[in-house]
Amino acid sequence: MNYLYYLWDDFISLLFPRLCCGCGNHLMRNENLICTECFVVIPRTNFHLKNDNPVAQLLWGRCMIEKASAFSFYTRGSRIRNIIHNLKYRGIKDAGTELGRICSLSLLSSGFFEGIDAIIPVPLHPSKKRQRGFNQSDCISSGISEVTGLPVLTDSLVRMTKTGTQTRKSRYERWTNVEGIFRVTDQMLLRGRHILLVDDVITTGSTIESCANEILNIEETRVSVLVMAFASF
Ligand SMILES: [Zn+2]
């Protein structure tokens, strides 16, 4: 029975090869979306071990962050970049979940998640979400949630559309708000909570900054940040 199953399995994988989202190599039977080699060799930033790490420094003076870290480095040709591309542009949502799982498994023993109450994925601009069909940060967050047991509050932070929010603004305000602004939908839900903001890549930090400050407007909230990749520019 087992033999027949494996034979059938091999036949299927011949027709539809299962390839790793990070390196493109064939996956083994026990591997799912990201191969063991990628899991081992993807370079870790280990930013979570230092309070004054580059992600924290990027946000200094812009928003009050408790802890900040990035799983890996977003560099040209890197495996993590391939995984994020497969997630965002080829719609392989499970690659995001797997990435979130791998990342949190790497951070779990350090105590990075201790004291955090809930995860909020950085919302995608509504027009982009319509185009893509999903928000990549939701996928990553669900992987983190599986490992840590932390709840994901998907709809508690929303990104407003340009047209909806900017009609009554001055020209200057409109210019400074091109990326759209964020709104908390249920302030009571977040009050007194320590929120982990999750995103795929951090570059300038302006999106994270806007999200964090919107959450921090609510009494007794704290914000930490975890991104999958740090892109230096
Ligand atoms: Zn691989």
Structure tokens at 155: 């709809």
pLDDT surpassing 60 at residue 65 = yes
Helix residue ranges, H only, 19-60: 36-41, 54-59
pTM of the model: 0.88
Q: What does the pLDDT average to over 104-132? A: 94
- Measured in Å, residue 28 CA sits from the centre of ligand 1 at 10
- Measured in Å, residue 86 CA sits from the centre of ligand 1 at 12
CATH numbers and ranges of domains, the chain: 1-41 (no CATH), 44-230 (3.40.50.2020)
Q: What does the pLDDT average to over 144-160? A: 95
**62-66, 79-83, 170-174: lowest mean pLDDT where?**
170-174
Cα distance between residue 184 and residue 212, in whole Å: 11
- Measured in Å, residue 61 CA sits from the centre of ligand 1 at 38
Check residue 60 and give its pLDDT.
96
State the helix-helix crossing angle for 93-107 and 136-148, rounded to 10 degrees: 40
Residue position matching structure tokens 């900017």? 166
With bands split at pLDDT 50, 70 and 90, how would you rate the model's confidence at 166? very low
